[in-house]
Amino acid sequence: METKSYHIIFHIDMNAFFASCEIAKNPKLKGIPIVVAHDEPLRKSIVLTASYEARKFGIKTTMLTRDAIRLCPSVKIVEPHYEYYTYYSKMFFDYMDKYTKIVEPMSIDEGFFDMTALCDKIHPLELAKKIQNDLNNMGLPSSIGIGPNKFLAKMASDLKKPLGITVIRKREIDKMLWPLAIEDMIGVGKKTAPKLREIGIHTIGDAANYKDINLLKEKVGDAMADYILDRANGGGSNILSLPKPDDFASVSNSQTFEHDVNSILIMKDLLKNLLNSVCNRMERHNVVANNFGIQIKYSDFQMISRSTSINEATNDSYDIWPLIDELFEDNYDRTKYVRLLGVFANRCVKKSAQNKPYTLFDDLDKAEKENQVKKLLNKINNNLGDNAITIGIKEDTKASEVKPRFSALEDGNETSGN
């Protein structure tokens, strides 16, 4: 097999994924400002995602629902349906599987795809247009970035949202990358950007051409300085692959709040979302774990990490939540505000049998009833043949003809506002 001297990497990112899934299931939501959040009476839940119509009012992910309502009194609050998101995520990755097996999933709604071999036969822009159009017809609007490495592909997909297709070549970084604010560089967060501005680095171009390397390293550390200089000049890895289940030793997801919080309700809401995210990724890679934990970073930047183990490995968020809840209750310092929360699973192993995981927001009585129904259906199907009777959700659109599986959420960036 010929080894290419170049790579063509696609980064595909679903636009407002949770909201898009809700719209695909209920087209009446199209064109109006909506937020996906738990609609509880005091409006203290957090926004999991907002449609682009809602974002025009300044509504952001992790914002309090009541703050979103203040910004847009007409905004519609839609309860999250995690089984939808899992189903559409699987639809997305199954669709992309026919184009390439060299995949690096980043979250439930985005991933890197090596299209090098395929683009010998079709121009990358034509391929991107076909993929974007097909996904849109499935109810999955997306933005696609194309570059010679993962960094440039990701930067490209972020440039035009929603429904953008953007190419960044190394020879074009002075025009496409350098004019961007330094905060727009992937990996440069709210903590690092002010330090860079203090030494005169206001744009990515400033970083690319910065001469006082020692001062830069003094400000942000050696590793971060090397990263900034390399990426500002178009560097980055072009190697990606789908990990084998046996390689999945651990899975984690974390989220920084827009503002430091001390509301137990808000923090537990986010922990549930993060756990669903972790469990979905485990489910998709057919792994289970018997060690789960949480991370808490306080406003003073103190970070703690606590975990606990169980005898029977699982990826069922319904079963794991009591462990996460107990860890939080036992270890959270109620005198402090929290900046970041994380959930992780360790000691992942390949699972031998497929079990049905419930999401954390399923009604407990309903979950038990469904478990009894499942046992009954298994008995019937054993007598009448496989899939004689199946459980499904009535479809509202043409986008999905196959019934969704019940599963937890994939990890990643939805909670960071895709």
Degrees, nearest 5: CA angle 372-373-379: 95
Residue 311 lies in domain: 245-361
Bridge partners for 281 per DSSP: none
Looking at residues 14-39, what average pLDDT do you find?
93
Q: What is the CATH number of the domain that holds 108?
A: 3.30.70.270
Distance of CA 315 to the CA centre of its chain: 18
- Phi and psi of 286, rounded to 5°? 60, 45
Residue pLDDT, tens place only, 384-398: 544 445 443 233 333
Please check whether residues 123 and 51 belong to one and the same domain: yes
- The answer to whether residue 225 scores a pLDDT higher than 80 is yes
CB atoms within 10 A of CB 316: 18
Please check whether residues 292 and 209 belong to one and the same domain: no
Does 52 reside within a domain?
yes
The confidence score (pLDDT) of residue 341 equals 94
Percent of the chain with pLDDT over 90: 49
- The answer to whether residue 44 scores a pLDDT higher than 80 is no
Is residue 273 within 8 A of residue 254, CB to CB? The reply is: no
Does 314 reside within a domain?
yes
Cis preceding linkage at 162, omega within 30: yes
Does 83 reside within a domain?
yes
Q: What is the CATH number of the domain that holds 202?
A: 1.10.150.20
Please check whether residues 115 and 64 belong to one and the same domain: yes
Distances (CA, A) of 183 to 142, 176, 187, 274, 359: 23, 15, 9, 25, 35
Binning the chain into helix, strand and coil, the percentages to the nearest 5 are: 40, 20, 40
Looking at residues 214-229, what average pLDDT do you find?
93
Q: Has 110 been annotated as catalytic?
A: yes
Which of 22, 53, 104, 110 is labelled catalytic? 110
Please check whether residues 163 and 32 belong to one and the same domain: yes
Does 344 reside within a domain?
yes
Number of structural domains the chain divides into: 3
Cα–Cα nearest to 188, from 168, 216, 161:
216
Does 238 reside within a domain?
no
Bridge partners for 255 per DSSP: 341
Is residue 75 within 8 A of residue 19, CB to CB? The reply is: no
Confidence of residue 343 (pLDDT cuts 50, 70, 90): very high
The confidence score (pLDDT) of residue 282 equals 86
Please check whether residues 112 and 130 belong to one and the same domain: yes
| DSSP-based three-state secondary structure for 139 | coil
Question: What's the chain's average pLDDT?
Answer: 82
Residue pLDDT, tens place only, 278-293: 988 888 888 898 889 9
